[in-house]
Amino acid sequence: MQEVYPTFGLLYRVCLLEEHRELFTTLYAQRLFFLVTVGPKKVSFDPISRSDARLLVENRLRNLRRGSNVQEFNSLNQTYQQTFSV
């Protein structure tokens, strides 16, 4: 059986959410977001809304702040500002 993956052009990794789960967006528009889950035998691309993507990044920022990971927090916060500022 052949698996089909979406073709949306170049994807940009916004951040690692947790082990085996990452958030990606389209490189140019940054309006389409995908939750990418890597399993032992497959990779799944699940489209999510911009507001859901924003919430996932905000939760990741909170976790980084609590964990005192300043460098990763600053880097993700800059990406957050660039991606979700109006």
Mind listing the pLDDT tens digit for each residue in 44-66? 989 999 999 999 999 999 999 99
SS3 for 19-53, per residue? CCEEEEEECCCCCCEEEEEECCCCEEEEEECHHHH
Question: Nearest-CA neighbor of 32 among 48, 17, 45?
Answer: 48
* pLDDT above 60: residue 1: no
In the chain, domain spans: 11-84
By three-state DSSP, how is residue 80 classified? helix
Query: pTM (2 decimals)?
Result: 0.82
Rounded to the nearest angstrom, the gap between the alpha carbon of residue 31 and the centroid of all alpha carbons in its chain is: 12
Task: Write down the pLDDT at residue 8.
Answer: 59
* pLDDT above 70: residue 86: no
